[in-house]
Structure 1
Amino acid sequence: MDIDEPEIHENSDEDMAVGPSSNKKDDKEHNFWKNNSNEIKANPERFGIEESSMELLRVFYNRFFPYKTYCYWLNYNNIEMNKSFQNREFNFVKPGNEEVYIRYLSFDTIEEFKNEVLRVCPKKIDIGAVFTAKPKEKKSLKLSALKPVEKELVFDIDMDDYDEFRTCCSGATICEKCWQLIAVAIKILSAALREDFGFKHLLWVYSGRRGVHCWVCDERARKLNDDERKSIASYLGVIKGGAQQTKKVHLYKNSIHPSINRAHKIIEKYFEQVILEDQEVLKDKQEWTKVLDCIPDDNVRHRLNDNWSDNPSKHSIEKWDNLLEELNSSAKTTKNQKKADSLQICKIEIMLQYLYPRLDEAVSTKMNHLLKSPFCVHPITGRVCVPIILEECENFNPMTVPTISSLYNEINDYDRRNVKNDRERNLHDYEKTSLRPYIKYFEKFIQNVLKETLAKNRALNQTSMEF
């Protein structure tokens, strides 16, 4: 679970506890500044990593975590550490069965960050905003002195939001079939961010269990204020309504936005395999009723339901063909143009409802929202939160992602097999394991971001020299 600015209530001079939501923003800010501690104690909840696994986590942080590249990323500079890193808020979840968050951490150097990670051995690391001052100095600052000024534009897609029609898995489980729901969402959202907003640097990261996060790292994205972030999230939020709302997409034939047409073209490539074959959403009455509820004509719904009830063994693809035939036929025969338009557009609405990205908009709208860091370890599964290569997202298999135990075994096996060669080649530890391609991709991504930053700085320097 990612953390949006916790609701803080006064407990003592030594800690702050996450509690029920408050409508009094002033009270929350008062408690924020009054408390001397940066520890927030959440409601007790078992947190997955057993004591026996903590040693493996220490090995991971000591031998595998890509500290230098990671800090260069958040610094957006690989020459000297600046405010982009030094004023960045980090949140650590302390070891133990209780969820205790250490908030408002910040670091001046890579070494300081590394030493604190090794000292605390956090079960989870969250990344927050860049502030006007160092978050670790908040106790000595006035209220107005610590304000968020920038952060990557982030998006969160969680498999839970697809549970209303997932048939292969449910809840926390995930497989290669339902992963394709996420893969299609990645393709659609990436296309929108690049083509509609002009963003280039999209870092997709597996959450370690059943979801993905997107970090938009362009400078223009990092500078967006909350209202601008909200506007972008609203623009991308096509799916409206929770599990209880049957029809979640509403379009108008003569005013379909180009971004919707683009998304529909992407969905058309995958709908048959992912929705009709893998998820079999028309297999039985319980499932096909959800589809029929999206059709704005009682007669069409009844005819299809009767047809499929009489022939329940029909494959989902054949039933989908029946649906398309009924929609087209009814649209042609009706004398009501508005009804004809709604029937013609219904096919696209259904396809979008099943395969358009289901975003947690709250994650994207606030600059100071904390989000799980890349390359931390999921506390339940032990899987590393690795980057996903956009062009290969549909081939990504969450079940084969490195875990802290598999990395430990891999490096031991490698060292046993390559005692002499390893000393000569002087490989980094991660290069001996299945973590290698993920870190290499991360390094390449950061190099591209830094290259653009360097080019911009050179251009600015050249301009200033001309004056």
Structure 2
Amino acid sequence: MPHSVASEDSPASHKDDEVLPDAPNAAEKNGDDVAEKATAGVKLEDMFNDEDDDDDEFPTSSTPVETKTQPTDAPGPPPVQVDTETMLAFYHRLFPFRYLFQWLNHGIVPSPDFGNREFALTLQNDAYLRYQSYSTADLFRKDILKMNPARFEIGPVYNRNPRDRKTLGAGQLKPLAKELVFDIDLTDYDDIRTCCTKANICEKCWAFVTMAIKVVDAALRQDFGFEHILWVYSGRRGAHAWVCDPRARNLPDDRRRAVANYLDLVRGGTQSGKRVNLKRPLHPHMNRSLEILKPYFAQTTLVDQDTFEGSEQAQRLLSLLPDKGLNESLRKKWESAPDRSSTNKWADIDALAKTRNSSTLNPAELRHAKQDIVLEYTYPRLDSEVSKKMIHLLKSPFVIHPGTGRVCVPIDMRSVDQFDPLSVPNVTQLLSEIDSWDAEHPRNGTTEGPDAEGSVPNDSDARGSRKLQDYEKTSLKPYIDYFRSFIAGLLKEERNGKRERNDDVPEVKTESMEF
């Protein structure tokens, strides 16, 4: 094959379609255990200033839909088989090692931020290697090319080199910093999505991920003041957030747990009664989330998923309403029209409530119940355990998902509504794009380097003065370009922060000494 690359120490074959968890168990094969007990939690009141909010009237189902049209519920293409040779070619020609180094190193000159960072490699034969570390980008790239892992994950920065853990005394290796991370997985929506189940996804149910990203991103920026948030497609059915601000990276576990709890709303199973129980007046975060989510409820829940069309979910909807008389009237109406759509059933709630002369029907309680229902069916369902501990490992951006062959690419928040997971390039496609480009441009030659080496970023590169990097010949280019711009913003703050810290140091005046 034109894109093949000779392998060093080629490992054994692997199960191409195996779905590995995004966060492996903390225990290594040799039995080392790095789990630490979480410290006591902090009060959220100490972290936020609550403001009085206005509990506006909840709009009807005629709320204008602001989301894009969802044209299909097809589960997407079949899994792509990624063999070891193809995986090695991807690492050799396309993986952005230099940029990943600069992202985690928080600068261009190697530092302990990268050198003491843990990496965990899943090899092609399913062997799992933890506590790997690298002092430079070149050593990192060399080891990945030698090991040719199916994937690798990123852990915390330790106080010592994690490779030395066996020579250190008990409790001497301690995590110091790590990005605050969040995990959204569509399998957590299986009880309310009707188009797909398990690992399958489509544009209709991907809307749940889109709305979750918007709500979480808004909270992290507006309520916590974080700025450098990298969203990454997981490669199959979810998304990850990496909050990279220095303040976020240095949060201890109790504060991470407090942030995760702040964003945790939908609790319990469908058989446990109400899963959303909010006090009034609503917290500003909930008011803002409702404004984001109401259009999605009108389109995704009522139309695309038609969630309440079936009898089980219709009964679930009735159980969440506060007035028994209204519930009985709705039940009779829906039983007489078993094919009634979710949109019509939702509209029936207000229509029948207006015709009833019931002393028990409280309009405010009904409005609040409807708000809680919208949140139960649209609010982010996060795997909060991922966020609560610094030692948690999370899959690296730009690795290949072994079950789909797709690259775990960044998601640009400026166009999050247009992000289509089914159009994300897979590794075979990318290597073919390089071959096609080279065939069409024989005079331009090809780039020997596998990744975009050099400082971050230089958008003024003259295309006529240098050979193109291989990634620039492919549909991976916009994703790496976005990653470069994200890193540039992060490094700028790192430089400014160091400058401000140096400016804060009082000037030390030296006086002559006489002997």
TM-score category, normalised to shorter length? 0.7 to 0.9
Q: Distance in 1 between matches of 2:162 and 2:292?
A: 43
- Secondary structure at the aligned position of 1:382 is classed as coil
Matches within 5 A, 1:132-281: 132-252=159-279, 254-281=280-307
Q: Deviations over 1:295-332 (max 9, x none)?
A: 233332222122122123333222211123345666x8
Residues 462 and 172 of structure 1: CA distance in aligned 2, closer, same or farther (over 3 Å): same
Matches within 5 A, 1:353-432: 353-422=376-445, 425-432=466-473
Q: Distance in 2 between matches of 1:359 and 1:128?
A: 19
Q: Distance in 2 between matches of 1:206 and 1:23?
A: 27
- Residue pair 1:378, 1:384 contacting (<8 A) in 2 also: yes
Q: CA deviation at 1:128?
A: 0.5
Q: CA deviation at 1:270?
A: 2.0
Identify the match of residue 153 of structure 2 among 126, 131, 137.
Answer: 126
Q: Distance in 2 between matches of 1:328 and 1:147?
A: 62
Q: Distance in 1 between matches of 2:400 and 2:34?
A: 31
- Secondary structure at the aligned position of 2:182 is classed as strand
| Structure having greater relative contact order (Cα 8 Å, sep ≥ 6) | 2
Q: Distance in 2 between matches of 1:451 and 1:119?
A: 33
Q: CA deviation at 1:213?
A: 0.4
Matched residue type, 1:347: K
Matches within 5 A, 1:1-150: 1-3=21-23, 5-7=25-27, 15-16=29-30, 53-78=83-108, 80-96=109-125, 99-150=126-177
- Residue pair 1:4, 1:363 contacting (<8 A) in 2 also: no
Residues 223 and 57 of structure 1: CA distance in aligned 2, closer, same or farther (over 3 Å): same
- Residue pair 2:233, 2:239 contacting (<8 A) in 1 also: yes
- Secondary structure at the aligned position of 2:444 is classed as helix
Residues 168 and 176 of structure 1: CA distance in aligned 2, closer, same or farther (over 3 Å): same
Identify the match of residue 307 of structure 1 among 316, 333, 341.
Answer: 333
Q: CA deviation at 1:24?
A: 11
Residues 431 and 246 of structure 1: CA distance in aligned 2, closer, same or farther (over 3 Å): farther
- Residue pair 2:323, 2:360 contacting (<8 A) in 1 also: no
- Residue pair 1:327, 1:344 contacting (<8 A) in 2 also: no
Matched residue type, 2:30: M
Q: Distance in 1 between matches of 2:263 and 2:230?
A: 18
Q: CA deviation at 1:6?
A: 2.5
Q: CA deviation at 1:22?
A: 13
Identify the match of residue 334 of structure 1 among 359, 383, 389.
Answer: 359
Q: CA deviation at 1:269?
A: 2.4
Q: CA deviation at 1:275?
A: 1.0
Residues 348 and 214 of structure 1: CA distance in aligned 2, closer, same or farther (over 3 Å): same
Which deviates more from structure 2 when the two are superposed, residues 389-398 or residues 184-193? Answer: 389-398
- Residue pair 2:411, 2:419 contacting (<8 A) in 1 also: yes
Q: CA deviation at 1:167?
A: 0.8
Q: Distance in 1 between matches of 2:436 and 2:171?
A: 54
Q: Distance in 2 between matches of 1:206 and 1:139?
A: 35
Q: CA deviation at 1:274?
A: 1.2
Residues 421 and 23 of structure 1: CA distance in aligned 2, closer, same or farther (over 3 Å): closer
Q: Distance in 1 between matches of 2:89 and 2:353?
A: 59
- Secondary structure at the aligned position of 1:119 is classed as helix
Q: Deviations over 1:177-197 (max 9, x none)?
A: 111111011001111011110
Q: Distance in 1 between matches of 2:472 and 2:112?
A: 31
- Secondary structure at the aligned position of 1:197 is classed as coil
Identity %: 42
- Residue pair 1:239, 1:358 contacting (<8 A) in 2 also: yes
Give the gaps of 5 or more residues in structure 1.
9-14, 26-47
Count of residue pairs brought into register by the alignment? 429
Q: Distance in 2 between matches of 1:325 and 1:76?
A: 57
Matched residue type, 2:383: D
Q: Distance in 2 between matches of 1:334 and 1:5?
A: 55
Q: 1:12 matched to which residue of 2?
A: none
- Secondary structure at the aligned position of 2:382 is classed as coil
- Secondary structure at the aligned position of 1:375 is classed as coil
Q: CA deviation at 1:54?
A: 1.3
- Residue pair 1:324, 1:347 contacting (<8 A) in 2 also: no
- Residue pair 2:26, 2:35 contacting (<8 A) in 1 also: no
Q: CA deviation at 1:271?
A: 1.5
- Secondary structure at the aligned position of 1:16 is classed as coil
- Residue pair 1:58, 1:118 contacting (<8 A) in 2 also: yes
Instruction: Tell me which protein shows more helix as a share of its residues.
Output: 1
Matched residue type, 1:265: E
Give the gaps of 5 or more residues in structure 2.
1-20, 38-78, 447-463, 509-515
Q: CA deviation at 1:125?
A: 0.7
Q: CA deviation at 1:454?
A: 0.6
Q: Distance in 2 between matches of 1:22 and 1:76?
A: 25
- Residue pair 2:22, 2:394 contacting (<8 A) in 1 also: yes
Q: Deviations over 1:19-44 (max 9, x none)?
A: xx99998xxxxxxxxxxxxxxxxxxx
